[in-house]
Amino acid sequence: MALPTYFKNPFITSPDITFSRADIYRRINMNDLIIVPFKQINIRRGDIKKARILSADTRYPGIVYKSCLDPLRDTNVLKDYCLFDGTHRLLSMIAEGKTANVFYLITPKHFDGLQEYPNHGSAQRTTGCGGCME
């Protein structure tokens, strides 16, 4: 199973610029952890495979952000947070009956100075990763 390689920056409008997953993960740390109720998170509900949800390792925090650029391709962000990474983990926890969890909160500063990788994703305005295509 391939891990996501590139992510889009949810704080810029260009859908062509992506950033290395490893570079982003090196920028987050325990100081970025917050507790977020699931009802405050916009969740992608695309074609997500049940097997991926069941096999998700919920020991690791997902990543959320606050942005006016909605990953759901809608102009109205109705909830406080958008999910950057961890859709399968989040859906697994919801299936287990959990209602909140710890997440890393990323901000524009996490992308400052990172190497840009143009054209490594789809042209859609979403932060979806290129690893699982879900």
CATH classification code of 31-116: 3.90.1530.10
Closest residue by Cα to residue 61 from 27, 82, 35: 35
**To 5 degrees, how large is the angle CA 96–CA 98–CA 100?**
150
- Domain ranges for the chain: 31-116
pLDDT digits (tens, 9 = 90+) for 94-125: 999 999 999 999 999 999 999 998 876 655 54
Q: What is the maximum span of the chain, computed from C-alpha positions, in angstroms?
A: 39
- 3-class DSSP state of 131: coil
> Please, which pLDDT band fits residue 133 given cuts at 50, 70 and 90?
very low
Verdict on whether the full-model pTM lies above 0.85: no
Q: Which tokens is 85 given? A: 């990474």
